[in-house]
Structure 1
Amino acid sequence: MSRPDCDQFAEIFLRDTPMMDLRAPLEFKKGAFPHTVSLPLMTDQERAKVGTCYKKQGQDEAIKLGHQLVSGRIKDERMEKWLAFARANPDGYLYCWRGGLRSQTVQQWLKDAGCDYPRIVGGYKALRRFLIDTQERIVADSSFRILAGHTGCAKTDLLNTLPDTIDLEGLANHRGSTFGKRPSGQPPQLDFENSLAIALFRQNHARPQAKILLEDESMLIGRCAIPDNLRAKMAEAPLIIVESTLEERVEHSFRNYILNKLEEWQQAEGEEQGFAAFADDLTQSLFKIRKRLGGVRFQTLNDLLQQALAEQEKGDNSLHREWIRILLDDYYDPMYNYQMTLKKGPVEFRGTAADIKAYLNDH
């Protein structure tokens, strides 16, 4: 029994429904959804040719050219991929930009091959509109709390052990600070916004009355910008402040930004190239804040960092703690203390990670 085309967007996102995106690769790179695979009807070059034909000669000629470009062996190869996706994902859907010609064409070709596969009514544009409207509604209607604390107090680790939370740094694939770059890179802004809207929707659907806990973030997490309406709500939300000693924060930063970061780079690039990329990552990150550090302090920290990297390459990574301690104490802590004076939200609770867990279990 064939399934109908779908306009039940809430169910699509609540169920992590697999979808094949028939748009051109460039369109997919600008923005897509989780659990979606790029299986374009046309390459970027083919789409550009059809677009030019459409402008000069009209729709009928553009459609004719499209069928010429995607025919024979090229069509057969793409059909194999579409059929393989349909077989592997019998509960999935296909879509294009507006649910028009591209998705209807592929849908018909699949049907001719004996595969009746449904499409998303309205395509990417309708799915995106649903998420924008949903995000705006949930942000307006929900209550938030903000998990704050000095750099290195393991806020993200704590956040991920608590209920009713959304990990913004996880969605942005970035650790949040100047040193937060990850080897696997960040999603495009639209992907980040789509994933955030889905996370808000799922959280709200599961527990509509719950206060949502978010980590204190600046406007940008790496290059991913938090939407303005959410930033405004976060700025006025009550604060849950994590308290941690400087030594604890040094150790956490050492694990996070030295041990874990090196492991990620070496997994991505191999042992030798991974270490070189890791060293360059740290060096470039420190260089980015040189003006705010001032010339003398930057030079001191950079000398310590380069010495630590040289010793680490020989097998001793312990020297990293020295520049991390200075950076936290002299740079990040004063900046955090100043930013706290600008907060509009009241301090609801402060304490250690264990204190906060106990408090939130009762509140």
Structure 2
Amino acid sequence: MKKGIATVAQLSAFDEVIDARSPAEFDEDRIPGAISCPVLDNAQRVVVGTIYKQQSAFEARRIGAAMVAENIAHHLKTRFHDKPKNWRPLVYCWRGGQRSGAFVTWLRLIGWDACQLEGGYKTWRRMVVAELEELPARFDLRVVCGATGSAKTRVLDALAKLGAQVLDLEHLAAHKGSVLGALPDRPQPTQKSFETELFRTLHALDPARPVFVEAESRKIGRIQVPEALIRQMRASPCVAIEASREARLEFLVRDYAYLGDDIADLQKKIDFLKGLQSNETLERWKTLAAAHDLPTLFAEFIELHYDPLYHRSQNRNFTRFPSAPIFTSDDLSPAGIEALARRILAAAAAQPEALTRVADPATP
């Protein structure tokens, strides 16, 4: 290791990773586990940048240096006042330049073996992007397909609890994927943050074991799924859930019950379907929403929007869907979902490519 400089491959060698960028940069994405200790806050960064453009680089450095010194002193007094002599931190900024360099200089003057990340966050980001081009092809994906309301995400949860490997893209994207899919308590991450978490998740999986993943389109809300992963999913074996209409409707009403808490927002989401449904249909749906008649509303969603969309897209997008083993169910309660997951796992252990239809034992 070059004195005072470290590479991305050496991240695990440090006791702490410090992000010296502004809070806004940190919020957009960061190296996993890093703590935010900005040497310039959001407003200060704007001030220094403006002076650099409108006056001179010297004046920007002169004013910025005072701000940086003050902020580093604050971190030393509050965040690092109790660190032992053998503490080894790694500091990074945007591209391994002056912000992290100044921080490391002070830390090393104190006596800590601090290092600066070579190339900064930009190097980390380039590695994530490159790895996401290569990683998906290493895995034996099993794509869980089924019409909206088939409890695919809950089946993934149940599979994980039973010991299977799963890749829950909707959890990483904080979105259920449909036009109604925004979560009430979790904003979606930034694209960069999503890709960092996807990178971490894939690295934690064992390529020697199957990985179950839900069928997704290229976008989950406003998050774009990396192209290499989409390609791998669309070429992978599929598992098809065929739940009864009654079971799906009951599940949707339960799983999306929170939509009834904000009728104005639900009506706004319905308006997103303009151009896909007639104005008359959209007005009827908004009236149903206003009446809190979610069962009737969701039944029409299934019949007029989700099912036609599913039947158009699934065969076209997933090349091995026509040969997928089919798991039928008329029970999508928590117990029914667990039973469905157990049947999927049992079939996966018994050469699923040889199966054509796997019926619910309770189905005649």
Place the TM-score, normalised by the shorter chain, in its bin: 0.7 to 0.9
CA RMSD across the alignment: 3.0
Deviations along 1:101-150, whole A, 9 cap, x unmatched? 21121122234455544443332112112222222121244342211101
* Structure 2 portions without partners, runs of 5+: 329-339, 352-364
Pair 1:357–1:6, CA change in 2 (3 A): same
Q: Is the 8 A contact 1:86 1:117 kept in 2?
A: no
Partner of 1:350: 326
Residue 295 of structure 2, aligned match among 300, 303, 321? 321
Pair 1:342–1:136, CA change in 2 (3 A): same
The whole-number CA distance in structure 1 between the counterparts of 2:39 and 2:238 is 49
- The one-letter code sitting in structure 2 at the alignment partner of 1:303 is T
The whole-number CA distance in structure 1 between the counterparts of 2:49 and 2:140 is 46
Pair 1:242–1:63, CA change in 2 (3 A): same
The whole-number CA distance in structure 1 between the counterparts of 2:94 and 2:82 is 19
- The one-letter code sitting in structure 2 at the alignment partner of 1:43 is D
Sequence identity of aligned pairs in percent? Answer: 28
Q: Is the 8 A contact 1:39 1:81 kept in 2?
A: no
* Structure 1 portions without partners, runs of 5+: 263-274, 309-318
Q: CA deviation at 1:295?
A: 1.7
Q: CA deviation at 1:220?
A: 1.0
Alignment of 1:230-241 (within 5 A): 230-241=229-240
Deviations along 1:83-114, whole A, 9 cap, x unmatched? 26968xx6763311122321121122234455
Partner of 1:210: 209
The whole-number CA distance in structure 1 between the counterparts of 2:110 and 2:4 is 18
- The one-letter code sitting in structure 1 at the alignment partner of 2:220 is I
Partner of 2:173: 172
Is residue 9 of structure 1 aligned with residue 9 of structure 2?
Answer: yes
Partner of 2:186: 184
Q: Is the 8 A contact 1:23 1:96 kept in 2?
A: yes
Deviations along 1:264-291, whole A, 9 cap, x unmatched? xxxxxxxxxxx4xx32332221121133
The range that moved more, 163-172 or 279-288, is: 279-288
Deviations along 1:214-249, whole A, 9 cap, x unmatched? 211111111001112222222222211112111111
Q: Tell me the SS of whatever aligns to 2:275.
A: helix
Partner of 2:312: 338
The whole-number CA distance in structure 2 between the counterparts of 1:226 and 1:124 is 21
Partner of 1:28: 26
- The one-letter code sitting in structure 2 at the alignment partner of 1:149 is G
Partner of 2:200: 198
The range that moved more, 148-157 or 56-65, is: 56-65
Pair 1:157–1:296, CA change in 2 (3 A): same
Q: CA deviation at 1:251?
A: 1.7
Pair 1:164–1:7, CA change in 2 (3 A): same
Q: Tell me the SS of whatever aligns to 2:38.
A: coil
Pair 1:214–1:186, CA change in 2 (3 A): same
The whole-number CA distance in structure 2 between the counterparts of 1:157 and 1:81 is 43
Q: Is the 8 A contact 2:14 2:90 kept in 1?
A: no
- The one-letter code sitting in structure 2 at the alignment partner of 1:30 is E
Q: CA deviation at 1:170?
A: 0.5
The whole-number CA distance in structure 2 between the counterparts of 1:286 and 1:338 is 21
Q: CA deviation at 1:52?
A: 4.9
Structure holding more helix per residue: 1
The range that moved more, 90-99 or 326-335, is: 90-99
The whole-number CA distance in structure 2 between the counterparts of 1:329 and 1:43 is 52
The whole-number CA distance in structure 2 between the counterparts of 1:140 and 1:16 is 31
- The one-letter code sitting in structure 2 at the alignment partner of 1:296 is E
The whole-number CA distance in structure 2 between the counterparts of 1:175 and 1:80 is 44
Partner of 1:288: 272
- The one-letter code sitting in structure 2 at the alignment partner of 1:136 is E
Q: Tell me the SS of whatever aligns to 1:99.
A: coil
Q: Is the 8 A contact 1:20 1:85 kept in 2?
A: no
- The one-letter code sitting in structure 1 at the alignment partner of 2:279 is G
- The one-letter code sitting in structure 2 at the alignment partner of 1:323 is L
TM-score by length of 1: 0.79
Partner of 2:63: 65
Partner of 1:270: none
Partner of 2:130: 133
- The one-letter code sitting in structure 2 at the alignment partner of 1:357 is L
The whole-number CA distance in structure 2 between the counterparts of 1:304 and 1:143 is 43
